[in-house]
Amino acid sequence: MKKKSNLLNVQLVAETFLAANIQHIVLSPGSRNGALTMQFANDDRFITHSIIDERSAAFVALGIAQKLRQPVVICCTSGSAAANYYPAVTEAFYQNIPLIILTADRPEHLVDNFDGQTIRQKNLYQSHSYYSTQLSEKDDTETLTENMLKVKDALTKSKQCMGPVHINMPFSEPFYGSTVEQLITIETLLIPEKEFPEIDIFALSRKWNIAQKKLVLVGLHPTDKHFNQLINYLANDPSVVVLIEVTSNIHNNLFINKIDQIIYNLSSDELENLKPEILLTIGQNVVSKKIKNFIRNHPPKEHWHLDEFWQPDTFQVLNEKILFNKNQFLEDFLPYINPKGSNYYHLWDRIRKEKESKHETYIEKAPYSDLKIFDKIIKTFPNNSNVHYGNSSVIRYALLFDNPKSCSYFCNRGTSGIDGSTSTAVGCATVSKDLTILVTGDISFLYDSNALWNKNLPKNLRIILINNGGGNIFRFIPGPNETDVVEEFFETKHHLKTYGLAETFGLDYWQLDNENEIDNILDIFYNQDTGRAKILEIDTMRIKNATILKDYFSYLA
Other beta carbons within 10 Å of 206: 12
- The stretch 208-229 carries a mean pLDDT of 97
pLDDT at 482: 57
Strand 24-27, strand 534-539: pairing: unpaired
Does the pLDDT of residue 471 top 90, yes or no? Answer: no
Angle among Cα 197, 199, 201 to the nearest 5 degrees reads 165
- The stretch 95-122 carries a mean pLDDT of 88
72 beta partners: 99
Q: Using CA atoms, how far apart are residues 133 and 176, in angstroms rounded to an integer?
A: 24
Instruction: Render pLDDT for 438-463 as a digit per residue (tens, 0 to 9).
Output: 999 999 999 999 999 999 999 999 99
Strand 318-322, strand 386-389: pairing: unpaired
Q: What is the mean pLDDT of the chain?
A: 92
The separation between the first and the last C-alpha atoms of the chain, rounded to the nearest angstrom, is 71
Question: Contacts for 200-203 with beta carbons within 8 Å, 24 or more apart?
Answer: 201/332, 201/333, 201/336, 202/336
Residues in the chain: 557
pLDDT at 2: 87
DSSP 170: E
Instruction: Render pLDDT for 368-419 as a digit per residue (tens, 0 to 9).
Output: 999 999 999 999 999 999 999 999 899 999 999 999 999 999 999 999 998 9
Q: Hey, CA dihedral for 358, 231, 294, 310, is it positive or negative?
A: negative
Does the pLDDT of residue 486 top 70, yes or no? Answer: no
Does the pLDDT of residue 172 top 50, yes or no? Answer: yes
pLDDT at 489: 44
Cα 70 to the chain's mean position, in Å? 14
Q: Hey, CA dihedral for 260, 264, 270, 271, is it positive or negative?
A: positive
The rounded percent of the chain whose pLDDT value lies above 90 is: 83
Cα 284 to the chain's mean position, in Å? 10
> Is residue 365 helix, strand or coil?
helix
pLDDT at 490: 47
- The stretch 345-357 carries a mean pLDDT of 97
Cα 286 to the chain's mean position, in Å? 12
- The stretch 213-238 carries a mean pLDDT of 97
Angle among Cα 71, 28, 174 to the nearest 5 degrees reads 110
- For each of the domains in the chain, give its residue range(s) and CATH number, in order of start: 4-172 (3.40.50.970), 201-351 (3.40.50.1220), 366-556 (3.40.50.970)
pLDDT band, residue 492 (cuts 50/70/90): low
- The stretch 535-546 carries a mean pLDDT of 91
Instruction: Render pLDDT for 127-167 as a digit per residue (tens, 0 to 9).
Output: 999 999 999 999 999 999 999 999 999 999 999 999 999 99
- The stretch 320-324 carries a mean pLDDT of 96
- The stretch 531-540 carries a mean pLDDT of 94
Residue 187 exposure: Cα atoms within 13 Å on the Cβ side:
1
3-state SS string for 253-309: CCCECCHHHHHCCCCHHHHHHHCCCEEEEECCCCCCHHHHHHHHHCCCCEEEEECCC
Whole-Å CA distances, 402 to 147, 360, 378, 405: 51, 11, 8, 9
Q: What is the DSSP string of 462-497?
A: EEEEEE-SS-THHHHSTTGGGSS-IIIIII------
Separate counts of helices (H) and strands (E) for the chain: 21, 19
pLDDT at 519: 83
* Amino acid code (one letter) for 508: D
- Please tell me which residue, 483 or 336, carries the higher pLDDT value: 336
pLDDT at 485: 46
3-state percent breakdown (helix, strand, coil) of the chain, nearest 5: 40, 15, 45
The rounded percent of the chain whose pLDDT value lies above 70 is: 95
Does the pLDDT of residue 476 top 90, yes or no? Answer: no
Does the pLDDT of residue 191 top 50, yes or no? Answer: yes
Q: Lowest-pLDDT range, 70-74, 425-429, 466-470, 518-522?
A: 466-470
Rg (CA), the chain: 25
Does the pLDDT of residue 484 top 60, yes or no? Answer: no
pLDDT at 108: 86
Q: Quote the pTM value.
A: 0.93
